[in-house]
């Protein structure tokens, strides 16, 4: 009798623990926004009610608004705050191109949702500042501040860094492909006018040919594998060994090391997955380790493509957001100007811990940007402007020009990038040694 009672008590305890464990997740999934979805006919309200992330964002915003309102008891302040909130809603819908005539479909819903989430994040920042500064008019805080980037480049100069330059042959066409190898050498694929390419290795200032590559124009990515072999990716795939001989391409793990298929591996069983969000799919970047999957706080935004690479020196993944100059939204540029921060991230391969860095607002807003955290600080490759060094919230110009294919060496101390050919000269490969000073954290560029 007593044993039966103990078994029943034990089962009851397990069930109760299971219920308590599930309850927070269920509550998060059913959290409601600050308004009643049953009486919300607007397109924007319908979008919010249909998306759990937007419901949570609106719920949190309602609480932040109440906290800002309670920080100042004056009736005049309350009226100003209410007016500012109404203006923000109008601006939010206008910048996300949501009107009463908008038709929401499965294909355009992610873009609307991501734009609204971005707007909510900005408004949360503004309301936090209003709560901290209740004597300041709300409009003075929320009004967009157009940041000047002139000061960011004034007096900029290269610091104690050394450069090596390799002029490409005059017959070169297009942009060469570059990849650092673990031994500190740089692999270079240069395409000639007839479409064939030459795969060479640059080491200690000398260049020697490794292999001839027919139809080289079909490749747009060059990746170095840990054994010194090279993987060429594009509309076709070629695997060339360290001895210059072609190998059979059949190893998916090798391709993951190159960041293909919206995932990149560390070569030790861990994979960063950053694919585009889809209905019913994971909306956050994940790290899959041999021990399990870690969901990071980095939300996948359907409006931006992401590119990733593994940084051996930091044992971390580098994740950059591709801002397409042709489709840069006014809302994104305004928020970037206001906050002086376009985020990039480093994600620890072993733990999934995330560190966010900032690309400051600058003259390169209409460029393709790549943050490059080295052991001596963070650099920025801006396609149409040149190489910059980020310091104290500003970008200092190190080398002007149209650059591409920027990559960090395995030891985190050097950068290699291609200078596109101009009207008067062929292109060039530039190698910068950044570690003239005391080495710093490769993940953040801080001591």
Structure tokens at 82: 């209410």
Residues 158 and 99 in one domain: no
Residues 55 and 123 in one domain: yes
Q: Which of 156, 153, 144 is nearest to 330 (CA)?
A: 144
Q: Is 349 inside a domain boundary?
A: yes
Scored b (16 or more CB within 10 A) or e, 242-280 reads beeeebebeeeebbbbbbbebbbbbeeebbbbbeebeee
**pLDDT tens per residue across span 390-428:** 988 889 888 888 888 889 999 999 999 988 755 444 578
Q: Is 353 inside a domain boundary?
A: yes
Least confident interval from 266-275, 319-328, 385-394: 319-328
- Predicted model pTM: 0.79
Q: 180 and 203 in contact (C-beta within 8 Å)?
A: no
Q: In what order do the strands lie in the sheet with 305-311?
A: 305-311, 316-322, 342-348, 354-359
Residues 85 and 17 in one domain: no
Q: What is the pLDDT of residue 78?
A: 96
Instruction: Identify the domain containing residue 13 by its residue range.
Output: 1-25
Residue 216 maps to which CATH number? 2.120.10
Q: Is 440 inside a domain boundary?
A: no
Q: Is 288 inside a domain boundary?
A: yes
**pLDDT tens per residue across span 331-386:** 788 888 888 899 999 999 999 999 999 999 888 887 888 999 999 899 999 988 88
Structure tokens at 140: 């003075």
Residues 126 and 193 in one domain: no
| Number of domains the chain contains | 3
Q: Domain end: 142, 158, 182, which one?
A: 142
Q: What is the pLDDT of residue 326?
A: 64
Q: Is 348 inside a domain boundary?
A: yes
Residues 196 and 125 in one domain: no
Residues 190 and 134 in one domain: no
Q: Is 441 inside a domain boundary?
A: no
The gap between the terminal CA atoms of the chain, to the nearest Å, is 66
Q: Domain end: 142, 160, 187, which one?
A: 142
Q: In what order do the strands lie in the sheet with 186-191?
A: 177-180, 186-191, 197-203, 206-213
Residues 171 and 60 in one domain: no
The mean per-residue pLDDT over the stretch 15-40 comes to 59
Residues 40 and 58 in one domain: yes
Q: What is the pLDDT of residue 269?
A: 85
Greatest mean pLDDT among 23-32, 276-285, 300-309 lies in 300-309
Residues 179 and 137 in one domain: no
Q: How many Cβ atoms are within 10 Å of 149's Cβ, its own excluded?
A: 18
Least confident interval from 38-47, 153-162, 170-179, 398-407: 153-162
Q: Is 243 inside a domain boundary?
A: yes
Residues 157 and 73 in one domain: no
Structure tokens at 91: 């601006």
Cα 125 from Cα 121, distance rounded (Å): 6
Q: Is 294 inside a domain boundary?
A: yes
Place 52 in a pLDDT band, splitting at 50, 70 and 90.
very high
Find residue 414's DSSP bridge partners: 433
Q: What is the pLDDT of residue 144?
A: 64
Residues 159 and 46 in one domain: no
Q: Domain end: 142, 168, 194, which one?
A: 142
Structure tokens at 391: 């310091």
Residues 133 and 164 in one domain: no
N residues, the chain: 447
Q: Which of 373, 388, 235, 397 is nearest to 315 (CA)?
A: 373
Q: Which of 446, 371, 375 is nearest to 414 (CA)?
A: 375
């Amino acid at each position: 009798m007593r044993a039966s009672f103990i078994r029943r008590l034990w089962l009851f305890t397990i069930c109760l623990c299971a219920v308590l464990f599930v309850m927070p997740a269920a509550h998060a999934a059913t959290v409601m926004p600050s308004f009643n979805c049953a009486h919300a006919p607007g397109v924007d309200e319908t979008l919010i009610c249909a998306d759990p992330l937007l419901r949570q964002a609106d719920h949190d915003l309602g609480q932040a608004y109440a906290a800002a309102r309670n920080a100042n008891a004056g009736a005049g302040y309350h009226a100003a705050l209410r007016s500012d909130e109404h203006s923000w809603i109008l601006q939010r819908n206008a910048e996300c191109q949501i009107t009463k005539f908008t038709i929401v479909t499965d294909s355009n819903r992610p873009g609307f949702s991501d734009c609204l989430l971005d707007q909510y994040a900005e408004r949360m920042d503004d309301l936090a500042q209003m709560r901290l500064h209740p004597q300041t008019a709300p409009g003075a805080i929320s009004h967009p501040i157009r940041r000047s980037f002139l000061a960011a480049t004034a007096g900029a100069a290269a610091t104690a860094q050394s450069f090596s330059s390799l002029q490409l042959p005059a017959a070169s066409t297009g942009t060469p492909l570059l990849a650092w190898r673990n031994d500190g050498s740089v692999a270079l694929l240069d395409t000639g006018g007839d479409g064939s390419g030459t795969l060479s290795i640059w080491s200690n200032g000398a260049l020697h040919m490794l292999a001839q590559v027919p139809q080289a124009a079909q490749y747009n990515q060059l990746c170095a594998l840990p054994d010194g072999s090279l993987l060429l990716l594009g509309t076709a795939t070629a695997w060339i060994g360290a001895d210059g001989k072609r190998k059979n391409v059949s190893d998916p793990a090798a391709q993951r090391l190159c960041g293909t298929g919206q995932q990149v591996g560390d070569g030790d069983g861990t994979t960063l997955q950053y694919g585009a969000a889809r209905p019913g799919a994971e909306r956050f970047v994940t790290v899959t380790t041999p021990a399990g999957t870690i969901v990071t706080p980095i939300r996948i935004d359907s409006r931006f493509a992401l590119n990733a690479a593994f940084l051996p020196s930091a044992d971390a993944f580098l994740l950059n957001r591709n801002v397409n100059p042709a489709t840069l939204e006014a809302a994104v540029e305004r928020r970037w100007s206001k906050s002086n921060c376009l985020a990039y991230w480093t994600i620890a391969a072993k733990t999934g811990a995330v560190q966010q860095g900032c690309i400051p607002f600058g003259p390169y807003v209409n460029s393709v940007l790549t943050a490059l955290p080295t052991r001596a600080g963070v650099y920025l490759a801006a396609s149409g402007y040149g190489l910059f060094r980020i310091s104290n919230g500003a970008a200092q110009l190190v080398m002007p020009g149209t650059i591409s294919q920027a990559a960090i060496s395995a030891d985190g101390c050097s950068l290699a990038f291609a200078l596109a050919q101009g009207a008067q000269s062929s292109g060039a490969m530039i190698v910068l040694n950044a570690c003239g000073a005391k080495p710093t954290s490769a993940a953040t560029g801080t001591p």
